[in-house]
Amino acid sequence: MMQKTCSIETVCPSELVEAVYSEDTVLPCHLEPPTDATDNRVEWRRGNDVVHLYQGGKEDPAEQRETFEGRTSLFPEGLTKGNLSLKLSSVRLEDSGSYLCSFHTLDQSCLVNLRLFVSADAEKQLPVHVTTATLEFKNKHWDLGGLILGYRSWL
> What residues make up the domain containing 39?
9-117
Residue 83 lies in a domain: yes
Please tell me the predicted confidence (pLDDT) of residue 6. 53
What is the helix (H) or strand (E) element at residue 149, kind and residue range? strand 147-154
- What does the alpha-carbon distance between residue 81 and residue 30 come to, in Å, rounded to a whole number? 9
Reply yes or no on whether the pLDDT at 93 is more than 70: yes
Question: CB–CB of 104/53 below 8 Å?
Answer: no
Asked if residue 132 is part of any domain, the answer here is no
pLDDT band at 127 (very low <50, low <70, confident <90, very high): low
Q: Is residue 109 part of a domain?
A: yes
| Residue 135 lies inside a defined structural domain of this protein | no
Burial class of 79 by CB neighbour count within 10 A (0 to 12, 13 to 18, 19+): buried
Q: Is residue 95 part of a domain?
A: yes
Which pLDDT belongs to residue 119? 47
Q: Are strands 42-46 and 49-55 parallel, antiparallel or unpaired?
A: antiparallel
DSSP string, 84-129: --EEE-S--GGG-EEEEEEETTTTEEEEEEEEEE----TTPPPP--
Residue 72: its H or E element: strand 72-73
Query: What is the C-alpha R_g of the chain?
Result: 26
Structural domain total, the chain: 1
DSSP class of 78: H
pLDDT value of position 5: 45
- 30 part of a folded domain: yes
CATH number at residue 74: 2.60.40.10
The answer as to whether 146 is a domain residue is no
- Confirm whether 145 is domain-assigned: no
Please indicate whether residue 89 or residue 142 has the higher confidence score (pLDDT): 89
